[in-house]
A = this chain, B = another copy of it.
Amino acid sequence: MTMRFFATPQDAEAAFYDALERADLEALMAIWAEDEEVTCTHPGGERLAGFAAVREGWRQVFAGLQRVSVRVTDPVHRQGILLALHSLHEHYSVPGEEAARPPVIASNVYVRGAQGWHLLSRHASGAPVAVSADVSATLH
């Protein structure tokens, strides 16, 4: 496994979505920090912790995945010195599907190391189908 160098979190993010669209596991894992503290939560899934578990999770995702294209909207970025947070909406398009899927909400945290910026944590969850202002029942 060779980590790629990314000068900015934005560079790492662009590579992430490129690898995702190509379902390229090696390219995708080269974006993650090689770190036992990486965590990844796929929509509806448990939290995967550690590089090996995160890799196996993505292997399973790609094994079942149709080719998709991803469009990102509504970015909220906060850049620190060692960490950066990118919150955004991901819109997945699957060839042959006419109806738009609800977006996925993603919180991606990048960490800066000797090899530049890499993904430290990803938390993704499906947005509700019908967006409602009522969140009173959603805590549990």
Contacts and interface: CB of A to CB of B under 8 A. Distances in A.
The quantity of this chain's copies bound in the complex is 2
Nearest to A107: B123
Nearest to A85: B109
Nearest 8 CB-CB pairings of A with B: A64-B136, A80-B83, A80-B82, A125-B125, A83-B83, A107-B123, A60-B136, A42-B138
A43 B81 contact: no
A76 B39 contact: yes
Given A46-B128, A61-B136, A92-B139, 14 more contacts: A37-B76, A37-B78, A44-B125, A46-B132, A46-B135, A47-B74, A49-B87, A60-B136, A78-B111, A80-B80, A80-B82, A85-B85, A101-B140, A104-B140
A121 B120 CA distance: 16
B63 A136 contact: yes
22 contacts: A43-B125, A43-B138, A44-B128, A45-B127, A46-B105, A47-B74, A47-B89, A48-B135, A49-B74, A61-B135, A64-B137, A65-B139, A68-B139, A76-B121, A78-B120, A85-B85, A87-B123, A101-B140, A104-B140, A109-B109, A123-B125, A125-B125
A51 to B, nearest CB: 13
